[in-house]
Amino acid sequence: MEPSLSFRFIPTKEDFIKTTRAYQLRRTETRTLLVIFSFLFLMGAIGSIVFRLNLSLGPLFTMLWLPLYLLVIFVMNPRMIGRQVDANERLRTEVTWTVDAQGVHLASKFAQVQMDWRSFQALVETREYFLLTYSGDKRKYQIVPKRAFASDAELSAFRELVSISIVKAPGAKAGPSWFVRNRVSIIIYLVLAVLIVIMVVANLAKSSH
């Protein structure tokens, strides 16, 4: 008899806000941009302190990228998600999960959905949640709060069953790498970084005379 696991929970606004922030930190795109913007922030800070530019336009423009990006991904985006949850009862209604070797069955008072394991790309685990990312769009995922499980044994059983099932899913194929999918954006960000660095260097050279 194939193993199966059933559990239920009520998603909350806080669940969506927390997982939005946690998942952003695990995305390669987010980490790459944080590195780029941190470098630009450092360039602007060094230029302002060492060369006494008093936060002229060039260094100030350079330093603003990091705080603005952090504001967007950790404050504005989660708040937008929170408003969507408040406005949509479907996102806040109790859902029952049944997980077995064939896939995942979701049931609520609004709908019932059956998905096989080919629908999912990976299982991401945080301190409070499991996130099942979709194969078609890794930016989308299903949330499973760890509070939904009655015991640590049940939680471990879910982790093992899902991890094994996703790997063994027939026809499951790894998509192109993040760098391939986002090569245009990468080029744009690199060009932008070079232009900003040139602007800072030009300001430094001007202030030294």
List, as one string, the DSSP characters of the chain: ---EEEEEE---HHHHHHHHHHHHHH-HHHHHHHHHHHHHHHHHHHHHHHTT--S-HHHHHHHHHHHHHHHIIIIIHHHHHHHHHHH-GGGGS-EEEEEETTEEEEE-SS-EEEEEGGGEEEEEE-SSEEEEEESS-TT-EEEEEGGGSSSHHHHHHHHHHHHHHHHH-TT------HHHHTHHHHHHHHHHHHHHHHHHHHHHHHHT-
Query: What's residue 119's pLDDT?
Result: 92
Give the residue, 60 or 121, on which the prediction is more confident. 121
Give the residue, 138 or 36, on which the prediction is more confident. 36
Which tens digits make up the pLDDT trace of 86-113? Answer: 999 999 999 999 999 899 999 999 999 9
Residue 53: pLDDT over 70: no
Mean pLDDT of the chain, nearest integer: 82
pTM of the model: 0.75
Query: What's residue 78's pLDDT?
Result: 92
Confidence of residue 146 (pLDDT cuts 50, 70, 90): very high
Which tens digits make up the pLDDT trace of 59-89? Answer: 677 778 889 989 999 999 999 999 999 999 9
